[in-house]
Structure 1
């Protein structure tokens, strides 16, 4: 992480938007890590009525966050968009930073991203977003350099700083995807317009990237990251949808995306328990993606 980082907010007006669903103590830690660096809006995405959820939301309000409650579970795109609209309603807002409820920001994080964005703009670069180098211990993919600035390849949305003018020009996130691929879609749209996504070298967020299982391979314990079973439906469906939209315009991205997805599915199928349920979700996602279905998956009839 760069030196001389503290918790002082930058001169630019930044609003951090945190999406939450059935939040627990991790949301409190997420807000606590951001509140000294920016204004914070927490959007509860239609969590079930629960005293512990109410207590958590009350706690983050007590820290100084504004809480917006959606009436129904509408997906991460809709939740973040609700917070972004709230942030942009203030004409002084210069940047919006999006964040998951299970992420945390280090001291000085916001100021570092804003400084990098401002420096790049001074150098004549159209800045689409700025991402940390590491999220949850994983390094962001890079796509080269431009005028000494490191370019990101498909950064995740948690911890991502987006300038106001980009949001106003391109519009908000694609709510129809519901969850998974929302950040990829915005990255593709941003870079297609000629804006650049930058990496802040050395900067890291805390972030939970799915669950990790220890599996035995040739007598050795190997960690395998596995998402919740239902997420495989959205991962498969939304990949198909994005391929249908973007494969001809971005063949390099398409080939890489398919290869990564196939590799992950192969590893989890071979090594992780619960493969039958995951494969069923993948099949359903493939069918619905080919049919062009979007939005929240209907609840199964009983």
Structure 2
């Protein structure tokens, strides 16, 4: 591989030994920036191909990604692969993402990503393309690239020359909707977000799904439900988020409140966090939740 082509950014939060071993394995092939979001981090025995940024606090996924990407940019790399600590991409997948850029030398492709198989839901997630009056769910099949409105950040390969124009992740969001907001912002500036359905990545969104009237729903912790519902109100404030997408998210607020207050464990805790999230969103209190 040519020097300064590609570096990886891996976000840690209370990593387990398997996550540390994944980084060690990946560092045999790539330079890596690890951003540790753990309040009281451990010491890691990495080789000199791994740069560790220790934050001694949970500053949120958005800021952690921005710090990692900035380090990669300062080192002169052209592309940056973003990874959660749970993601274990094969070398073949990483090279295939990079090769797509080389085979499609366009200045307007901001990010490419594989489709992901949601282990908890037991299905491949579709790519989402937002139209003016319709949200299109595009099945992740076939051998043609799919223009999407956004992709999940983990295992996405960012073109840093485009990133310079689009700007960093929105740190006020802290965690949820971060990749969605950035994707819509890229689209609004006429940059493409591209999904590659022939590339597959195992990924788990949330924990064990909940079932409500026979239908599966992705489940998260109470604090994640706080951020998810609160951040809908941040999206409402942003001009580059399509109006139809905003309306759909607003209409889903009450159903989500009902579902996760009904069929989750610790239902009252979920309810309180979601109500607080809606309240904080309405009054414009964003960033990290205190306490």
Which of the pair is proportionally richer in helix? 1
Identify the TM-score tier after normalising by the shorter chain: 0.7 to 0.9
1:120 aligned residue (59, 80, 104): 104
Given that 1:212 and 1:224 are in contact with CA atoms closer than 8 Å, whether structure 2 keeps it comes out as no
Matching residue of 1:106 = 90
The equivalences for 1:1-302 within 5 A come to 9=1, 13-32=5-24, 34-49=26-41, 53-54=42-43, 57-58=44-45, 61-62=46-47, 64-91=49-76, 93-122=77-106, 126-137=108-119, 138-143=124-129, 149-213=145-209, 224-246=217-239, 250-258=242-250, 264-299=256-291
**Would the alpha carbon gap of residues 104 and 258 (structure 1) be closer, same or farther in structure 2, given more than 3 Å must change?**
farther
Q: Measure how far apart 1:78 and its partner are.
A: 1.2
Given that 2:176 and 2:228 are in contact with CA atoms closer than 8 Å, whether structure 1 keeps it comes out as yes
Measure, in 2, the Cα distance between the counterparts of 1:200 and 1:211. Answer: 25
**Would the alpha carbon gap of residues 240 and 33 (structure 1) be closer, same or farther in structure 2, given more than 3 Å must change?**
farther
The RMSD of aligned alpha carbons is: 2.7
Unaligned runs of 5+ in 1: 1-8
Question: What is the aligned residue count?
Answer: 275
Any idea what SS the aligned residue of 1:114 has? helix
* Deviation per residue, 1:76-134 (Å, 9 max, x gap): 1111111111111112x010111111111023112111121233335xx6101101112
Measure, in 2, the Cα distance between the counterparts of 1:223 and 1:236. Answer: 19
Unaligned runs of 5+ in 2: 130-135, 139-143
Larger mean CA deviation between 77-86 and 202-211 belongs to: 202-211
TM-score by length of 1: 0.81
**Would the alpha carbon gap of residues 171 and 165 (structure 1) be closer, same or farther in structure 2, given more than 3 Å must change?**
same
TM-score by length of 2: 0.83
Moved over 6 A (4+): none
